Amino acid sequence: MTTINYHNARFITSAAEVHQLPQQSGREVALVGRSNAGKSSALNRLTGQKKLARTSKLPGRTRLINLFQVAEQAYLVDLPGYGYAEVPDSVKKIWQQTLMSYLHQRRQLQGVVLLMDCRHPLKPLDQQMIQWAVSRPLPLLIVLTKKDKLTQSAYQKQEYSVRQALLAFKGDIEIMGFSALKGWGVEWLQQQLDRWLLNQ
């Protein structure tokens, strides 16, 4: 089975609007989540590159659509975080419009990775994102980040409660735990991305 070497990932471009993205014919997977979900850290851990995606102690630094190439005709798309950043509501609205425009318009999109802090999952905007993916429909992988912040038993309880809540959405949804700090879940995430990006 062919696999992608994510360590070869490279930044392609940033765009404020969907129409500014390259109109390539490749396959894309979008990474979405609240601004404090650890999206940039997860992307850096996934690719083994400490500075591929910009990280900050201040959530909400991802303000553009960021396109990364991981293989020929295969791309990861880091979308603006939502719901936390200390910016005016008018700016948050623009970010959300950009995010939804990409999700609605981008025909290259093959799947969505929704990252949620395992300690604070399923916030209203997370649920809105799940509902959108199910209605399009697109396969959805929920990544419960910062797993190292909980004991194993506490994490298992959280994951079980999330799984139960997801039953109501009745979509193509999978769930996994992840820790950028410890590297937990990296290989599993890479395998899922391979399936979508390589059409396996």
Residue 159: its pLDDT value, please?
98
Work out how many domains the chain is built from and give that number. 1
Q: Does a structural domain hold residue 160?
A: yes
What confidence tens digit (pLDDT) does each residue in 136-167 have?
899 999 999 999 999 999 999 999 999 999 99
Residue 60: its pLDDT value, please?
46
Q: Which domain holds residue 104?
A: 6-197
Residue 2: its pLDDT value, please?
87
Contact 31, 76 (CB under 8 A): yes
Rounded to two decimals, what is the model's pTM? 0.92
Looking up residue 154, the CATH number of its domain turns out to be 3.40.50.300
Q: Which residues of 133-158 are buried (b: 16+ CB within 10 A; e: fewer)?
A: bbeeebbbbbbbbbbbebeeeebeeb
Q: Does a structural domain hold residue 1?
A: no
d(CA 116, CA 34): 7
Predicted confidence pLDDT, tens digits, the chain (200 residues): 689 999 999 999 999 888 899 987 799 999 999 988 999 899 999 999 988 987 544 444 457 889 999 999 999 999 888 866 566 777 777 777 888 888 888 999 999 999 999 999 999 989 989 998 998 899 999 999 999 999 999 999 999 999 999 999 989 999 999 999 999 999 999 999 999 999 87
